[in-house]
Amino acid sequence: MHGRILSIAGSDSGGGAGIQADIKTITALDGFAMTAITALTAQNTQGVQGILSVAPEFVQLQIRSVLDDLGADSIKIGMLGAPELIEAVADVLDAYPDIPCVLDPVMISTSGARLLPESGMSSICVRLFPHAAVLTPNIPEAEMLLGRTISTVPEMIEAGQALCERGPKAVLIKGGHLNDAVLTDVLVSSEGVSTFSDAKIPTCHTHGTGCSLASAIATGLAQNLSLPEAVIRARLYVRKAIETAPPYGQGRARPMNHAVTL
């Protein structure tokens, strides 16, 4: 294993997203996964049935226990769920400014459940954006953060630039929600703008793709890949995962399952 990655995120009882997706992704990419669990969820392929937040002090204790002993080469931040958790995580990370963080601003689940109250958006912007080596919102999340509609790739670029001005070193806006045959993701940083495009895969198997992409990028950074290299490999990993998604659960269509080859 190469690279120590701490995932700070919620638990998905169905195993498709959250901490469970992060551990699977990091392990598949030959990293060493460590965790700080922020919430327990009761969920499956049909939706989220319940959420139970972990006490902020205990989330802090998990993070410190890992970083003060094992250390980390990168940190992935996912579902936090409440402003007090955001503040608690930021307070701890203030003491570790040199560890690159991949911030996935989890606000709404794929099934449509709200995972972060509106009051939490301001806390994310103020407290966590400055820690982000890269911010990875999808289009609805970017729209919520900026209060504007995004419906084209040029508007994605403008949104990425606007979000970069708020503190993240880079922003990767994921374009899966655009109604285009080609899926385009946009990476914006001080070094310029890069776009990554592929044909869309017709599928309902998108649960956990944001978690997997962010943790794959964090793994790449922990393994000394450049950010563009980490994004390219992470996108390939997620595409393979979508193409070979297993036919589990009653809420999904049931395609054939095949082995993943990167």
Which residues does the annotation mark as catalytic? 174, 206, 208-211
**Are 82 and 117 spatial neighbours (Cβ–Cβ below 8 Å)?**
yes
**Identity of the amino acid at 92:** V
Chain length of the chain:
262
Strand partners, 76: 7, 102
